[in-house]
Structure 1
Amino acid sequence: MLHAQSLQVKGRITDALSKKPIEGVSISVKNAKTNTSTDADGQFTIGAARNSQLLISSVGFQTKQVTVSGDNLTISLEASVKQLDEVVITALGIKKEKKLVSYATQEVKGADLIKAREPNPINSLVGKVAGLSVGASAEMLGRPQVLLRGSNIDLYVIDGIPINSDTWNVSPDDIENITVLKGPVASALYGYRGQRGAIIITTKKGSKDKRGYAIEFNSSTMIDKGFIALPKTQDLYGPGDHGKYAFVDGKGGGLNDGDYDIWGPKFEGQLIPQYDSPVDPVTGVRTGTPWTARGKDNLKRYIQAGLLTTNNLSVSSSTDKYDIRFSLSHSYQKGIVPNTQLNITNFNINTGYRFNDKLKLDAQLNYNRQYTPNFPDVNYGPNSMIYNITIWGGADWNIDDMRNYWQPG
């Protein structure tokens, strides 16, 4: 019985034109399971029998077949004449070469959305699409403001289906890509809602590796330091007006104690009736206590570092006939305001079955749950945390006394 002589073949692969080494070239032995790839210097080592065939392939180069004639090979690859056409998702959710699309589009890959993760995937489009402005809402679960060329966009299409959504119910880990339609074509397809443009979201489908299935786990943790800037307010004078103030009931029963003016007496330690001053049990009159700026920098001392953790587990598989993908995500956001948090759990199933080359059935199920025991109001209004603490509220009270106060709602 004759055995083919086995060699430890070493070699180097270069570009035939530039003579530079090519990294990441795939080398495999024909009719065998042995394979490897080149390093940064274009070098490789592989076990192969003498006179066996090596298949050499790399993106952008012509595939080459080389006969093993010795244990040291020098191989050059010719650039491929065939160009890779950029593919975009059209308004109908159909893949098409970008040069064949007659209207303006711009695509963002899903991998770019999770590099600097946001709880809402639309917020991650900041700076990635020309002409698109995204204003993240300061409110938890608040819908971001999305402007395309100055006009508000409120049309979102997920896998070809227009939806009404604040986009909090879409997990960034489930997005394959986002295409922004900039022309009036969205209006022709979806009516007046698309007159300013549309955001087309394509979710991930089933994929596989050499085992026949793929399992992915992604985890990230981010720390939020809080507001970029805080309003500067004075803390030399307390609440009141024209230098006068005395608290009785906070509803105007005292001296200037029912408005938001912060131009009362100067903090000099004088005795003035305040909200927490002791009340005489006989007369019911509040006894004056020292008037000091005990609440200086209330807001700065109140907020804390926020935390955002996200975990995603997905299992997918595909064949020539079907593809299927399961995904489970959980995001936990600890607010910069004490006692505030937000949890988002998202479960997604995406599956498809190909009957033939012209007919395919796709189905998707998405379950999203958002739950929080308490979250602050930071918009303009009487419930606003920022206005109440630092603009409408003076320095006559200490935020530390209110830190753990909980109002059921």
Structure 2
Amino acid sequence: MRNKLTLIALLAIFQISSIFAQERTVSGTVTIASDGMPLPGVNVLVKGTNQGTVTDMDGEYSIDVTPDAVLVFSSLGFERREIAVNNQTTINVEMVEDLESLGEVVVTALGISREKKSLGYATQEVDGEDMNLTNEQNVLGSLAGRVAGVQVTGSSGASMGGTQKIKIRGVNSISGGDQPLMVVDGTPISNANFSGSSGADFGNLGQDVNPSDIESVNVLKGPAASALYGIRGQYGVIMITTKKGKKGVEDVQVQINSSFSIERAGNFLPKQNMYGAGSSQSFSTLPNGDPYVAISVDESWGPKMDGTPVRQVFSFYPQDPTYGQLTPFVPHPDNIEDYYETGYNLNNGVTVSGGNENTTFRLSLNDTRIEGVEPNTYLNRNNLGLSAALDLSDEITLSTNINYARNDARRPGQGSEYGVAYFNQWFQRNLDMNRLKDYKYADGTFLHWNLRNPSSTTGEITNFNPLYWNNPYFDAYENTSEDTRDRFFGDVALKYQITPEIEISGAIRSDMYTQNIEGRTAFGGKSIPGYSVGKYQNKEFNYELIAQYNKKFEEFSVNGTIGGNIYNRNYTYLSQATVGGLSAPGFYNIDASIDRPSTTSYKLEKQIRSAFGMIYLGYLDTYFVDASIRNDNSSALPEDNNSYWYPSISGSMIFSELIESDFLTFGKLRASYAQAGSDLSPYQTTPAYGVGTVYGNINTLYVPDNLNNPDIEPSFAHSYEAGVDLRFLNN
């Protein structure tokens, strides 16, 4: 029996060793085929995974792979290369220029595909594989540094699904609401955020898009580019196209991907480690003559930390092993760093896709597990995506895109008095963070570092509630903020190809979510204990009908589009919070409120009815003109003044078609004009009573402070744009 076990163990060790032996480092240089020059910035990906790297300034790269891996080399303006590793350790690659990519087709407003070179306004496309290189949890974060004129800013909790804001061409609104519209496969989706100035940052809704499902992202930068979306597209549009199944694929394809990464807190500010807690250079003394640390002071301007025996904060707790003892007054240089943990991000996904002559489908499932660098923080997200299309006949196609996202999170604290934001200013260099980690004694007493001074007669402390600051571990484990969100968005569409030139399509598009937020404030801290819950529900529906005409003659090309859209939104919010504290420790329920709990509710309904048209003309594949117009009728505006127009016109000329030059590969002049408008939130035209607090047994109402304007008109902004697009030396 012993010999059998020994043999099994040896075989297991040999198998594990052989698995690790399969891993190898592949390196090489990527050059331009035409001149042999090194090519920096080339994306090198392991096919079917998120693992990858980028070539350096010398065109060199290095990556760890298995022998059966396939490396994918891609760069804008060059043909894509796929090379099997086999048993190679050095793979040098020559990239061939792809001049046809300059005439690539991109997705523009309303999902209309256009040749990129024909556009008279600014757009920029990012490939889905490039988006996944950074392994961002929020698709907006993946655009940072990849699109000119786009600024992405994130909160300190961005890696945990915190808010990330995106601005196209800088600040465009004094209210700060200048966020672009997000559109996924033609469906406008909400990117609202639930961030607060204090407490937790619950993030924005753009994070519900699964990055692994993205085929490409096209950013429409100016009003001329997004005029067909009306009010919602006035600050630009982020067009997201997801991956689809392919026709004619005989076998069902299954793809499994997994990635794991770790995260560590870094970039800590330098700290002094000479002076400890206090505001003077001498210690206070107890009635028995023992010196003690200034525990009521929250800064480190006190005596030198030279090892002098003193009473520290732990020694005043009768439950502590060091109660009544003197311990050396020494620095703990890494006490702030010691608070943070090693976080990780585990992402697993599976995709099933296929099709035949009449159908296509793609089903994806993704599971994300994130443990934060701050204790007791996590984010779990599940994504389910389905896209399918069926040719009912040679002329009629039925298609659908359905996406579901489920979020479950406990977020890190934000703000000046929450979480660990105070570490850099209000903390003591003599504190041992490992001692603070055991923040709760066996009898339930909480350990805090910032207390009131001991009695001048007894030398004892009887009130162990913190003075200014909680123990950070108390905040992390007792004062928690949790949230869950369920979200559906997608569409069902029907397309009828009447003739090769004429197409009619209709779609029902929806975006629905329910967000629940729960906050707990525990007994034993500096704040009044409490409990709060909030529920946000949003439903948006778009009913769309579009007709298109597309014809190319010998020298001319024509594309015309007319259509209509009805947008309905229904939003409700309900929150409740305890008042005056909780009736019992650990009983987190609205019924535990000592006083009458507060309740806040809000309901919003809004409708926009729209009609639009667009025409595009091209001549000799060199001269192009676009014109569009849209009319919106908003229920938020006065009934007699709720209609407004959005005209736009743009033109471009590919002047490189008119000259022969080995130096200039591509040159385009473009100019555009557009008018964009904006309405306002509902219920702003007429005054309405507000619901006040209950007085005795009487419900009260109050008169609003603001005077509404029944004759208010929509605001308009005019945009003028001109530009030159140039490509040189076949690049």
Return the TM-score normalized by structure 2.
0.40
Partner amino acid for 1:149?
A: R
Structure 1 contact 207–323 (Cα < 8 Å) conserved: yes
Matching residue within 236, 241, 254 for 2:274: 236
Say yes or no: does 1:394 pair with 2:428: yes
Structure 2 contact 213–242 (Cα < 8 Å) conserved: yes
Q: Structure 1 residue 230: deviation in Å?
A: 0.9
Partner amino acid for 1:302?
A: Y
Structure 2 contact 293–310 (Cα < 8 Å) conserved: no
1:189 counterpart SS class: helix
Q: Distance in 1 between matches of 2:259 and 2:242?
A: 20
Equivalent runs, 1:50-89 vs 2, <5 Å = 85-89=103-107
Residues 291-347 of structure 1: CA deviation (Å, up to 9, x unaligned): 623432112233233322211111112334332211100112232234433221111
Equivalent runs, 1:215-234 vs 2, <5 Å = 215-227=254-266, 229-234=267-272
Q: Name the structure 2 match of 1:144.
A: 164
Structure 1 contact 247–274 (Cα < 8 Å) conserved: no
1:295 counterpart SS class: coil
Matching residue within 391, 407, 415 for 1:380: 415
2:349 counterpart SS class: strand
Q: Distance in 2 between matches of 1:358 and 1:102?
A: 32
Equivalent runs, 1:247-262 vs 2, <5 Å = 257-258=295-296, 260-262=298-300
Q: Structure 1 residue 124: deviation in Å?
A: 1.7
Q: Name the structure 2 match of 1:30.
A: none
- Rate the CA distance shift 1:197–1:346 in 2: closer, same or farther, 3 A: same
Q: Structure 1 residue 86: deviation in Å?
A: 0.4
- Rate the CA distance shift 1:186–1:161 in 2: closer, same or farther, 3 A: farther
Say yes or no: does 1:115 pair with 2:141: no
Residues 211-231 of structure 1: CA deviation (Å, up to 9, x unaligned): 34322212222232332x112
- Rate the CA distance shift 1:356–1:122 in 2: closer, same or farther, 3 A: farther
2:110 counterpart SS class: coil
Q: Distance in 1 between matches of 2:346 and 2:316?
A: 46
- Taking CA–CA contacts closer than 8 Å with sequence separation of 6 or more, which of the two structures ends up with the larger relative contact order? 1
Matching residue within 237, 242, 246 for 1:198: 237
Q: Distance in 1 between matches of 2:118 and 2:143?
A: 25
Structure 2 contact 248–355 (Cα < 8 Å) conserved: no
Q: Name the structure 2 match of 1:331.
A: 368
Segment drifting more, 237-246 vs 261-270: 237-246
Q: Distance in 1 between matches of 2:156 and 2:333?
A: 24
Residues 231-274 of structure 1: CA deviation (Å, up to 9, x unaligned): 222222223324467699xxxxx997555433223323445553
Structure 2 contact 168–180 (Cα < 8 Å) conserved: no
- Rate the CA distance shift 1:262–1:90 in 2: closer, same or farther, 3 A: same
Q: Name the structure 2 match of 1:276.
A: 314
Q: Distance in 1 between matches of 2:296 and 2:119?
A: 63
Q: Name the structure 1 match of 2:715.
A: none
Residues 106-153 of structure 1: CA deviation (Å, up to 9, x unaligned): 111111122331222221222211122223332122121222222353
Say yes or no: does 1:183 pair with 2:183: no
Q: Distance in 1 between matches of 2:209 and 2:427?
A: 38
Q: Distance in 1 between matches of 2:209 and 2:279?
A: 50
- Rate the CA distance shift 1:208–1:236 in 2: closer, same or farther, 3 A: farther
Residues 20-40 of structure 1: CA deviation (Å, up to 9, x unaligned): xxxxxxxxxxxxxxxxxxxxx
Q: Distance in 1 between matches of 2:313 and 2:347?
A: 43
Q: Name the structure 1 match of 2:354.
A: 317
Q: Name the structure 2 match of 1:298.
A: 335
- Rate the CA distance shift 1:137–1:408 in 2: closer, same or farther, 3 A: closer
Larger strand fraction of residues: 2
Q: Distance in 2 between matches of 1:364 and 1:247?
A: 72
Q: Distance in 2 between matches of 1:108 and 1:319?
A: 29
Structure 1 contact 207–214 (Cα < 8 Å) conserved: no
- Rate the CA distance shift 1:246–1:83 in 2: closer, same or farther, 3 A: closer
Partner amino acid for 1:264?
A: G
2:316 counterpart SS class: coil
2:133 counterpart SS class: coil
Q: Name the structure 1 match of 2:122.
A: 104
Q: Distance in 2 between matches of 1:90 and 1:210?
A: 28
Q: Distance in 1 between matches of 2:366 and 2:302?
A: 52
Q: Name the structure 1 match of 2:401.
A: 364
- Rate the CA distance shift 1:246–1:342 in 2: closer, same or farther, 3 A: farther
Structure 1 contact 291–396 (Cα < 8 Å) conserved: no
Q: Structure 1 residue 408: deviation in Å?
A: 6.1
Aligned length: 320
1:202 counterpart SS class: strand
Ranges in structure 1 where 5+ consecutive residues have no aligned partner: 1-17, 19-58, 61-79, 249-253
2:362 counterpart SS class: strand
Q: Distance in 1 between matches of 2:306 and 2:258?
A: 53
2:437 counterpart SS class: coil
Q: Distance in 1 between matches of 2:352 and 2:318?
A: 70
Q: Distance in 2 between matches of 1:366 and 1:82?
A: 34
**What is the percentage of aligned positions where both structures have the same residue?**
34
Q: Name the structure 1 match of 2:151.
A: 133
- Rate the CA distance shift 1:209–1:340 in 2: closer, same or farther, 3 A: farther
Q: Structure 1 residue 380: deviation in Å?
A: 3.4
Partner amino acid for 2:165?
A: Q
1:277 counterpart SS class: helix
Q: Structure 1 residue 359: deviation in Å?
A: 4.8
Q: Structure 1 residue 172: deviation in Å?
A: 0.9
Q: Distance in 2 between matches of 1:331 and 1:196?
A: 31
Partner amino acid for 2:152?
A: V
Say yes or no: does 1:266 pair with 2:304: yes
What's the RMSD between the two structures over aligned residues? 3.4
- Rate the CA distance shift 1:242–1:120 in 2: closer, same or farther, 3 A: same
Q: Name the structure 1 match of 2:89.
A: none
Say yes or no: does 1:94 pair with 2:165: no
Q: Distance in 1 between matches of 2:209 and 2:154?
A: 16
Q: Distance in 1 between matches of 2:376 and 2:258?
A: 24
Residues 145-186 of structure 1: CA deviation (Å, up to 9, x unaligned): 222222353421111122113222111111111111111136
Partner amino acid for 2:166?
A: V
Partner amino acid for 1:155?
A: L
Ranges in structure 2 where 5+ consecutive residues have no aligned partner: 1-33, 35-77, 80-97, 172-177, 192-203, 287-291, 439-472, 481-731
Matching residue within 429, 434, 437 for 1:403: 437
Q: Distance in 2 between matches of 1:266 and 1:288?
A: 20
